[in-house]
Structure 1
Amino acid sequence: MRSILLLIIAVLIGGLAALNWEVLSTPSEVNLGLTTIHAPLGVLMLALTVLLCVIFLAYVLSLQGSVMLEARRHNKEMTAQRELADKAEASRFTELRQVLESQHAAGQSVLLARLTELETHLVARAQESDNSNAAYLGQIEDRMRHTEPPRNTF
């Protein structure tokens, strides 16, 4: 929008200068402060306006160039920071994986130790049960041997 407005103003100045070229190019006495010269005042003012426009355009272009360079530098820094963040995140995931693996291994070893303990306890209980059953059977057999057989009453 600003560019269009500036372009319209430049076209109006150019059109005004073209329509009034005879008046602008009429020589007159121009006081420069230290000296006085005989030159067309309109052409001098138009030349100063063009010079001001050229200086303004050079300033705008240099400002835009510096902004573009700053944006490029900022983009590079952001890319570097993003890469560092990605590496840190990958490192955290690797560390988390190692911690989970170590916890899994520790839990597995505790579980295996507990299973071994329960198996040992179960084997001991089964052995005790076998021994107890054998003792009961032995007592029953002893009672059967020491008791007299029943008499037949026929």
Structure 2
Amino acid sequence: MIRVVVLLLLLLAALLAGFVILNWAAFLTVFPLSLGVTEVDGPLGLIMLLLAALLAGPSLVYAIYVRQSSLLRAGRTAEEMQELRKLAERAETSRYTALREFMAAETQKLSEQNHQLRAELRADLEKLAARLEAPAGAPAPADEEEVLDLDLNERESN
């Protein structure tokens, strides 16, 4: 879009230059000019052309200044966005790392609890097996109450 505008301005400047060259004699024709207080003779076309150039020059410089400042601002904004994107990626990575560490710790804790419960269950089953293998008239082991209880209340709380 901007290139089209620049091309149109260049085309307009070329047409104006061609018009001035073709009518140079008319631009140099001397006319009486009134300055309010006095009258002078001068080339009206050339004076008007110079006034137009004096007005167009600063306008062109201002347009270039505005364009360059907006490009610089856009560049700074792009750099800031890139830095923010990197910061967000680092934060996301750290959250994933923290989540992974939490999950590993919880998995380890559950694995330890599982091994502990299996050991307790295995011990209880061995006690029951020993009791069942004992002859019917034999005295019960000293820890019979523990074997029969099986710590059900403690396991339900876990």
Q: Same fold (TM over 0.5)?
A: yes
| Aligned partner of residue 54 in structure 1, secondary structure | helix
| Aligned partner of residue 107 in structure 1, secondary structure | helix
1:90 Cα offset (Å): 1.3
2:41 partner letter = H
Structure 1 segment 1-154 matched on structure 2, within 5 A: 1-132=4-135
**Which digits, 9 at most, give the CA deviation of each residue in 1:74-127, with x for residues without a partner?**
112102211220121012112101210121111011101111111101211221
1:39 Cα offset (Å): 1.6
Bigger Rg, which one: 1
Runs of 4+ in structure 1 deviating by more than 6 angstroms, as ranges, are none
Query: Once the two structures are aligned, what percentage of the paired residues are identical?
Result: 33
Structure 1 spans left out of the alignment, 5+ residues: 136-154
| Aligned partner of residue 134 in structure 2, secondary structure | helix
**CA–CA distance in structure 2, aligned partners of residues 60 and 32 of structure 1:** 32
Aligned pair count reads 135
1:34 Cα offset (Å): 4.9
| TM-score normalized with structure 1 length | 0.78
1:31 Cα offset (Å): 2.5
Alignment RMSD (CA, Å): 1.9
| TM-score normalized with structure 2 length | 0.76
**CA–CA distance in structure 2, aligned partners of residues 100 and 34 of structure 1:** 93
1:131 Cα offset (Å): 1.0
Q: Structure 1 97/35 Cα, relative in aligned 2: closer, same or farther at 3 Å?
A: farther
